[in-house]
Amino acid sequence: MDSGCVELKFSDSSMIAINCTAVENEIADNMYQRSELDYLIYNDPLAYADLVLNGDPEAYLKSVTEYKPLD
């Protein structure tokens, strides 16, 4: 079942869960940015977790988001 979270289990058996909906609500301003985050969640969850925990998600979204107007 999709929990809306990326869960990480560390080698010492501790766990954390990143609430993806809360992250999107805080940093994604539009559907294009949400789509970029969704892509990472489903295709590279470790990169997503690293971005949220250690990176700068706002800068990442500014550099990778393509705005394509709907026809």
The predicted-structure confidence for 37-71, as pLDDT tens digits, reads as follows: 999 999 999 999 999 999 999 999 999 988 877 76
The amino acid at residue 10 is: F
Query: Is residue 18 within 8 Å of residue 54, measured between CB atoms?
Result: no
| pTM given for the model | 0.82
- Determine, yes or no, domain membership for 36: yes
Residue 56 lies in domain: 5-64
Number of structural domains in the chain = 1
Angstrom distance (rounded) from CA 46 to CA 51: 9
Angstrom distance (rounded) from CA 16 to CA 53: 11
pLDDT of amino acid 38 = 93
- Determine, yes or no, domain membership for 55: yes
- Return the residue matching tokens 């999107």: 24
- Determine, yes or no, domain membership for 34: yes
- Determine, yes or no, domain membership for 54: yes
- Determine, yes or no, domain membership for 70: no
- Determine, yes or no, domain membership for 69: no
